Amino acid sequence: MTDQDETQRGLRADAERNRDRIANAARAAFRELGADAPTKEIAKRAGVGTATLYRRFPTREDLLVHVFADRLTGCESSVHAALADSDPWRGLVEHVNHLAHLQLEDRAFTAVFLHDFPADSPVGRSRVEAGEALRQLIDAAKATGDLRQDVDENDVMLLLKANDGVLRWADDPARESGRLVERFLRSLHA
């Protein structure tokens, strides 16, 4: 290996280390402060300058997607799995419980989930697909007569917003969130 190769390798390793440190700091900051945690604060926690942060993650979306990639993918597979269930109402109940559980596990998830990703970004595109799958699921559950006719995808968003409030104020988040989801789903059942 030449000296130049070694220098290159060292620089790549540094870049990777910085990237990981920024991602870890961002994860913690999002959890504590929400998805709009200040960039300056994230850089400070990571021990890097904001210029370095912007070089690694040019936009807020880049950082959100990097940190929450698994969960965003998880939401989408959840709605597709629900749509594949032979009982659409059961699929819907499981999907909604899955989303509420992700919120319980990580308070920053609500902000990411409700974030408007640009429609031409990879996350934006798979969001559009997931939205389409959710609408199909809702239609299928109406067709079996399980879901009330006045329900639409906004009810799922509404429940996620409501659940965030419950998680913020609850003495016992798991129990109270479970009760909200149960109450809410009951009101959607025909």
Question: Token pair for residue 100?
Answer: 């509420």
Specify whether the CB–CB gap between 125 and 131 falls below 8 A.
no
Q: How far apart are CA 75 and CA 96, in angstroms?
A: 10
| Nearest residue (CB) to a second copy, 23 versus 170 | 170
| Nearest residue (CB) to a second copy, 104 versus 162 | 162
Minimum distance from residue 50 beta carbon to a second copy (Å): 25
| Nearest residue (CB) to a second copy, 120 versus 186 | 186
Minimum distance from residue 167 beta carbon to a second copy (Å): 8
Minimum distance from residue 107 beta carbon to a second copy (Å): 11
Minimum distance from residue 59 beta carbon to a second copy (Å): 22
State the helix-helix crossing angle for 173-188 and 88-105, rounded to 10 degrees. Answer: 150
Specify whether the CB–CB gap between 110 and 103 falls below 8 A.
yes
| Nearest residue (CB) to a second copy, 3 versus 172 | 172
- Beta-bridge partners for 158: none
Give a three-class secondary structure readout of 1-50: CCHHHHHHHHHHHHHHHHHHHHHHHHHHHHHHHCCCCCHHHHHHHHCCCH
Minimum distance from residue 34 beta carbon to a second copy (Å): 10
| Nearest residue (CB) to a second copy, 83 versus 104 | 104
Q: How far apart are CA 113 and CA 72, in angstroms?
A: 8
Residue with tokens 């300056």: 40
List interacting residues with a second copy (CB under 8 A): 110, 114, 154-155, 158, 161-170, 176, 179-180, 183-184, 186-188
Residue with tokens 């109450």: 183
How many secondary structure helices (H) and strands (E) does the chain include? 9, 0
Minimum distance from residue 164 beta carbon to a second copy (Å): 4
| Nearest residue (CB) to a second copy, 123 versus 166 | 166
